[in-house]
Structure 1
Amino acid sequence: MVLGCRQADPGGHGGGDGGNPSSETDAGQPGTDGGDAGTPQDGGGPGGTDGGTDAGVPLPRYPGNRQGYVNPIPAENQHAGDPNWRSGFSNPYAKQIEGYADRVSALAGDAVRLMVRSDAARSASWTLYRIGWYGGAGARALASGTAQVGSQPGCPEDKTTGLVSCAWTPAFTVTVPGDAVSGLFLVRIVRSDNIGILIPLVVKDQRPADLYFQSSVTTAQAYNDWGGESLYDSDDGVMGGFAVQVSFDRPYASDGGAGQMLRYEALMAHFLERNGYDVSYTTNLDVAREGLDGLLARGAFLSVGHDEYWPGEERDAVQSARDQGMPLFFFGANAAYWKVRLSNPGADGNARVMTCYKKNPAADPLYNTPQQTGRYRDPPINRPEEALVGTMYESWLLFGQPWTVQGSNNPLYDGTNLHDGDTLPQL
């Protein structure tokens, strides 16, 4: 985990002093004390993102002037949750029912079309959930309805690239409530025989929140092998065993259809919202499309979970934001490792096709151009991830080895009752 990275500059701008939350009355003014005490309700949130100073030079504050701004997260989490949001149905991964949305992200009020295939024509119920704390329930229902689900046409595969892209007819449409707070969302669809799926969605907003939580949809799609093709597999042996193109117009094969949202991101959302942090949510695709201005409208950037595949536009925007004083937080390993290319914009303006030539980058038709794909660290890209994250990714698989505690005075060990020399077996 890498926390609070800032690019040093000749003027003495560095990591800052951590600061305290800034209140709505002074959020837009530079200061030397890191802001006032603040509360989550008045736009500060625990921790703050204003940075303070480290050499007598005030850092810019992000976001900018927030006169009258109110953090909606504490009030949102006062609503009653549904502790059964992940239960009450079965998903045997046998393709009885599967589906995808026509977009990865939406705004409050947007109509999202759901493409659903069922191996038998049946009635189904659906519920739109927002993931949060909600007193420990973990999610709350914002909308619900019924639909008929049935057969859909097959999804053709491009035998050259491995691209599997579906063109299914919408089964129903979900309108995101107009007062919905930005967050990680799931559409749960359950057939009348109690077999169901989950379809992920990120709801965005335009508010100048303290924290900007990125859902790593590009990495989830890279690993998605629905239809036998992913950037790690190719049933048809494309490019030495890896597909070079994947589509968002297909279901997720893992985690009941939720991709990697539950596995890598939901628990972080629970933590942040339980503690009242002022957080807004986005995706890699949105960061790439909105660029630097979209980032600087918020506080700190949070790379959460498995965030391995980055479009070049995202890398440019995040690095530029860092250079202008925006704090970056990386809560996972292997971030910004592969460079991908986006194409085929969909209903939300975001790409529906992602390209990456991993096995043989020189085979990329755009090789040796600014749009080429491959590992960021490799020539001719030559942009190693450590230039952004501060560390380089490497992997040695040691199975069955204990974790031996060292440096137990590190705050990461607070509350664990662990001491130097203690071991945790099989970790």
Structure 2
Amino acid sequence: MGRESVTAGEALTLHVSTDADEFRVRFYRLGDGLSFLLESEPFRGVLKSPPPHPDGGDGLASPAVDWDLEPYSFRIPGDWQPGVYLAHLVAGDERTAAAAPLLDDSGIEGFEREFFVVRPRDPGRHGRILYKKSTFTRHAYNRSDNEGLPRASSLYDNPVYQEGGDGERRGHKLSLHRPGGVIDLAYWDAPFIAWLERSGYAVEYCTDLDLHEDPELLAPYDLLLSVGHDEYWSQAMRDQVAAHVRGGGNVAFFSANTCWWRVHPTDGNTAFVSDTDHRVGDAFPHLPATDLWWPAPPDGVGAPENALTGVSFRNGGMWASDEWPGDRPRAGYTVQHADHWVFEGTGLRDGSDGGEPDALGAGSALIGYECDGAAFAYDENGTARATGRDGTPASFLILGVYVLDPVHESFHDLKWGHWNCPEREPSATGPRAATMGIHTAGGTVFTGGTTDWPVVCGREQDAGVVRVTRNVLDRLSHRTTAAG
């Protein structure tokens, strides 16, 4: 994909390598289901070899360079609605293509697919809610695999590290111009987007790169949504979202592991560099990794993500499993402050009547697979209150908490949300716990504290989670500076 977003009426560029003599592109829109729109005229196929990995290795390809695949342009109709779209490549002649069935909702994930965002020509006219697709995170995990061909080429598998100098930044480099198919969109985004449209919410969409490049992007919107797994953020993204909140705009983080690493877009914003702690071979090329947001310089950025979100992966964690995303405890969030507007209409209790507090999402896999938390301590009434020791704003109100026990310890010896936290922080800032909460800093910021909130809500697996989501969207889709 030349770029993962396009304005309605403008040209989309797909980059394709295929051994087929010709192929067609079928276009679908993700809404309340996968809707087929049209099929392109045939394109001539061109086969190109992946760039070799600089460290060698059979079957490996470089994740750090543009794969320079053949470009094919398609003009997006001007009347296409804002949304997330799927391009499905169908190889073969006209007869072969005609025999290939159309995709349904079960066919979103897979190879020979790519997604893209269609943005409106008049931003904010369709809706005042902006859904940010976490594309930098998607690229970090994209292995550039193909059917039956595991290339293991990503920020986590056989990464490429550059030492810096001569105008280059030190860190792991990752090209945004690589193939790899669709995975995360099917898991987190598709069910939540379907629920949003089924529920009648008017939403427009953008990518991380859109937010990075455009300081005015958020101006037409009252509410920004961060959904699912939103780990990699640039400084410009962070600054623009913080300014949006200071100006009275709202944010809902239905996500986790959020804003954990800083990225630096480069090469005309077709790649990024991030000084992370991912191994190259058997060694860490540079420790401490300086693009972790929360540690003070020179060992990190010195801007704790909790200052924006209220929570951090460093106080959360994840669960072990042989199969991603894995199973996990299903106890849900212990409810606090049940009289808050977030819980309106749920019927949930917080124990203030003398009974046991209820749990939001009990029976569902709401907590995890990764989750974020705030440093907190229990007061004399047994209520969890944020201490602020980790950068969480003083106004952050904890509405739900689930103490992580056990925390998965075998993935990079995970502690307090990440393997190297004990090295940087000898004692924990508080119990490790998934934390749901809210704070006000001009506008209002809600955080669900878990990657799988959009899955539970989107698939309507828990009535309480659905109602809380409605309450957040209904209240925050209009700018307000009133206290949460």
TM-score (norm 2): 0.56
**Which of 77, 82, 91 lines up with 1:182 in the alignment?**
82
Q: What's the CA shift for 1:426? A: 8.2
What does residue 270 of structure 2 align with? 352
What does residue 176 of structure 2 align with? 248
Q: What's the CA shift for 1:258? A: 1.8
Count of residue pairs the alignment pairs up: 303
Q: Distance in 2 between matches of 1:132 and 1:425?
A: 24
On the 8 A contact 2:161/2:285 being kept in 1, the answer is no
Which digits, 9 at most, give the CA deviation of each residue in 1:66-93, with x for residues without a partner?
Answer: xxxxxxxxxxxxxxxxxxxxxxxxxxxx
Quick one: structure 1 residues 405 and 389, their matched pair in 2 at CA, closer, same or farther if it must change by over 3 Å? closer
Residue 69 of structure 2 is aligned to residue 168 of structure 1 = yes
Q: What's the CA shift for 1:182? A: 1.3
What does residue 22 of structure 2 align with? 123
What does residue 148 of structure 2 align with? none
**Which of 310, 317, 322 lines up with 1:395 in the alignment?**
317
On the 8 A contact 1:357/1:363 being kept in 2, the answer is no
Which digits, 9 at most, give the CA deviation of each residue in 1:204-258, with x for residues without a partner?
Answer: 123223100001100000111225332212177989xxx8111111102xxxx12
On the 8 A contact 1:157/1:165 being kept in 2, the answer is no
* Matches for 1:1-400 after TM superposition, within 5 Å: 101-118=1-18, 120-133=19-32, 137-159=33-55, 163-170=64-71, 172-192=72-92, 197-205=112-120, 206-208=122-124, 209-226=127-144, 227-234=151-158, 244-252=172-180, 257-291=181-215, 293-345=216-268, 351-359=269-277, 374-380=291-297, 381-393=301-313, 394-397=316-319
Q: What's the CA shift for 1:173? A: 2.1
On the 8 A contact 1:231/1:356 being kept in 2, the answer is no
Quick one: structure 1 residues 383 and 363, their matched pair in 2 at CA, closer, same or farther if it must change by over 3 Å? farther
Q: Distance in 2 between matches of 1:420 and 1:278?
A: 32
Q: Distance in 2 between matches of 1:407 and 1:327?
A: 25
Structure 2 segments unaligned to the other structure (5+ residues): 57-61, 101-109, 145-150, 164-170, 322-326, 349-356, 367-484
Q: Distance in 1 between matches of 2:364 and 2:10?
A: 49
On the 8 A contact 1:264/1:304 being kept in 2, the answer is yes
Q: What's the CA shift for 1:334? A: 1.1
Q: Distance in 2 between matches of 1:233 and 1:283?
A: 24
On the 8 A contact 1:295/1:321 being kept in 2, the answer is yes
SS in 2 for 1:315: helix
Q: Distance in 2 between matches of 1:184 and 1:107?
A: 12
Quick one: structure 1 residues 328 and 235, their matched pair in 2 at CA, closer, same or farther if it must change by over 3 Å? closer
On the 8 A contact 2:111/2:182 being kept in 1, the answer is no
On the 8 A contact 1:156/1:165 being kept in 2, the answer is no
What does residue 372 of structure 2 align with? none
Quick one: structure 1 residues 412 and 258, their matched pair in 2 at CA, closer, same or farther if it must change by over 3 Å? farther
Q: Percent identity?
A: 26
Q: What's the CA shift for 1:201? A: 0.8
Which digits, 9 at most, give the CA deviation of each residue in 1:95-130, with x for residues without a partner?
Answer: xxxxxx111111112212222122x33332211111
SS in 1 for 2:177: coil
Residue type matched to 2:114 in 1? I
TM-score (norm 1): 0.63
Residue type matched to 2:90 in 1? V
Coordinate RMSD, CA, aligned: 3.6
Which digits, 9 at most, give the CA deviation of each residue in 1:156-213, with x for residues without a partner?
Answer: 445599614211222x322111111111011111123659611111111232231000
